Every structure is written in structure tokens, then in C-alpha cells.
Structure 1
Amino acid sequence: MATIDHLGIAVKSIAAARGFYESLGLSVVREEEVPDEQVRTAMIPVGESRVELLEPTSDDSPVGRFLASRGEGLHHVAFHVDDISGTLEELKAKGVRLVNDDLQIGAGGHLYFFVHPESAGGVLVEICQDSIADV
């Protein structure tokens, strides 16, 4: 069964954006750069889920282009699954349009792939699993 893992929020500056969440009594538990995605991330636990702040390290990155065209805001919704390889193959077999056809390694070593908004009601959806050791 899938659960909501996190909400990805594109921001111009993690340093500026985190103040709002801290004013709610929340704390950033991990900041990390993901060179392959040209992004810095900050994870903020909220109950059993998290908010992931996304700051581009390049204007030409996916998050940089998102900010240029849409401004700051909700970038994606991420669902955690127990069998990411099986989920990827099942979605491919059903003809779901994917942003990337292969598993990627992201922040914290978790595995992920993205479903194109065209196949998910206009929302960019990330499917993720904790780490490569879980596959």
C-alpha cells in the first residue's frame, strides 16, 4: 500500500523558506545537495510525512525551470511504496507516461522515479522507496 512520503515545494531559497516552517515549531532534519538533479533539499518531518524544500543549484535544472515558469509552490507529491521495481514495471505495462523510465537515487539514498503530470491528473508524482538496500 502506498503512503504519502512527502510534498516537494520549490523555493528560491531554503534559508528564507525554512523560517516559516520553524515558526510552526517544525525543524529541518537534513539538508543535502543532489548533484544529478541540480537541487538542494531540506527535509522537514510533519507527522508521519515530510515537507521537502527544493532549491535549484542551476537555473536550467528541472526545479529552476519550474520556478521560472510557475514561481514558488507545490512541485510534486511523493508516494512511498514497498516494491518500487514492481510498481515501475506495473505502471509501464499500463502505459502510464513517466518522466524517467529507470530508477534514480535521490536525497538520503532513496530510490525514485517520476510520473508525468499528464498521467496523474495534472500533478507531478514521485514514487519512492527508502533506499537501494530495500530493492
Structure 2
Amino acid sequence: MILRIDHIGLATDDPVGVAAFMTALGMRKYDDGHVDDYGVACEFWQFSGGSGNPAVEIVSPDQDNSAISGRLERQGPGLYHVAFEVDDIESEMARLRGHGFTAVDGEPCKGAREGMRVVFLYARPPAGLLVELVHYESGQHADRERSVT
């Protein structure tokens, strides 16, 4: 079952520049990480006291063959994906595929946060949206606040 919106991903090759905008909006960086499987660096930004609220994830390439390099070349920076926290990532992946979503990943992999597993699917037009399903191991959850700035 989908539990909530976990975060909204922004693709950029200038995370420092986007961080300035996040700061101007009154947000703080609470978490960060790397996902070697995708070749990306991720920063998670929330408003103070953001526990339980969706985050904005700044996603930038940290390898030449990054999963987002082609997207940045074709479309430039901007909205990349919407991530939903789920209670069972495999069953939600199967359910959404049954509704016409196209699996980008064959199986879930490690995400950017501790205890996080993720899988990407594509919602074809008219939505034309990349969707990320997120599952946290028990005891780990996105609403923990760990300021990294």
C-alpha cells in the first residue's frame, strides 16, 4: 500500500546552486547520500521541524555514466520524479505494473538513505512521470531529523 509522498526529486548538475534556492525557501538539508547503482549524489531538504513532511531531493550525477546524465542532456534540470513510501515494495511494484506502469528497474536496490530500498517505474502519458517507490527497513524512517549542514 502507498503510505505517503516521501519526496520530490529535482535533477541538476549544479547541486550547490539549487541548495541556494532551497535555503532561500527556508529549507535545510537533513540528509544526504550516494547511490552507486545509479551514479548519483542525493541531498534531502525539508523545512525546520520537517519530521513526517515530504522532502525535496536534489539529485546530481557523481559518475560520468550516471542514470540522470542523459535526462539532463535532453531536458535540462528540473522535476525528476515523485517518490512514494510504501509498506511492501515488491507488491506495489507488481500492482502498479498491472495498472500500466513500466518498470525501469528489474528489482529494488539500495537507496540514498540508511535503510532505504527503492525502485523506479514510469507512468506513461498522459502522466509522463517517473515514479519512485521507497521502503524503509523497520526502525529506519525518513522522518528522522539529522541535519547535515
Give me the TM-score of the superposition, normalised by structure 2: 0.79
Instruction: Indicate yes or no: 2:116 matched with 1:110.
Output: yes
Q: 2:134 aligns with which of 97, 112, 128?
A: 128
Residue 135 of structure 2 aligns with an amino acid whose one-letter code is: Q
8 Å contact kept, 1:110–1:132: no
* Pairwise CA RMSD: 2.2
Give me the TM-score of the superposition, normalised by structure 1: 0.86
8 Å contact kept, 2:101–2:123: no
Deviation at 1:96, TM superposition (A): 3.3
Instruction: Indicate yes or no: 2:67 matched with 1:65.
Output: no
Residue 39 of structure 1 aligns with an amino acid whose one-letter code is: V
Q: 1:79 aligns with which of 52, 63, 84?
A: 84
5 Å-filtered alignment, 1:1-135, equals 1-46=2-47, 47=50, 48-94=53-99, 96-108=101-113, 109-118=115-124, 121-131=127-137
Tell me which of the two structures has the higher relative contact order, counting C-alpha pairs closer than 8 angstroms and 6 or more residues apart. Answer: 2
Distance of aligned partners of 1:132 and 1:118 in 2 relative to their CA distance in 1, 3 Å threshold: farther
- Segments of structure 1 that go 5 or more residues without pairing to the other structure are none
Deviation at 1:112, TM superposition (A): 1.2
Distance of aligned partners of 1:133 and 1:101 in 2 relative to their CA distance in 1, 3 Å threshold: farther
Higher strand proportion: 2
Residue 38 of structure 2 aligns with an amino acid whose one-letter code is: E
Q: Which moved more, 1:73-82 or 1:51-60?
A: 51-60
- Segments of structure 2 that go 5 or more residues without pairing to the other structure are 141-149
| C-alpha separation in 1, matches of 2:86 and 2:100 | 19
| C-alpha separation in 2, matches of 1:38 and 1:59 | 8
8 Å contact kept, 1:6–1:78: yes
Deviation at 1:89, TM superposition (A): 2.9
Aligned positions, number? 134
Secondary structure at the aligned position of 1:2 is classed as strand
| C-alpha separation in 2, matches of 1:118 and 1:60 | 24
